[in-house]
Amino acid sequence: MIQAEGVAAVTDESFEREVLNAGLPVLVEFTADWCPPCRQLAPVLSAVAREEAARLKVVQLDVDTNPETMNRYGVLAMPTLLVFRAGEPVKSMVGARPKRRLLQELEDVLQSLPAAPARP
């Protein structure tokens, strides 16, 4: 799996604990080693995870080794980004995108949460 720096990996076994039972909204990237757009998205996910850590948890799931979760949520293309809130999927996005666009697309999920502290 293409591991984004600062982004935890989840598995079929840990998905419920790490995603469905999380206190924050969770952005899950369904990814695979053979996926070029997933490589492009890795630094974007790292930046979002770092910048929005107070409001959003970001994780990755390797679809080749965790097909159960992929099938449960009907994921057909890589990368697929699903946002979970209170254990339910609330947003779905497919394909790589720049950080600015991803943050814009996440705005509705994050707007009701406290703003992240400003960085010096």
Could you give the residue numbers annotated as active site?
A: 35, 38
d(CA 105, CA 59): 17
Distance CA 5, CA 42 (A): 8
Which residues lie below 8 Å from residue 23, measured CB to CB, with a gap of 6+? none
Token reading at 37: 């757009």
Tally of residues, the chain: 120
Pairing of strands 80-85, 57-62: unpaired
* DSSP three-state, residue 60: strand
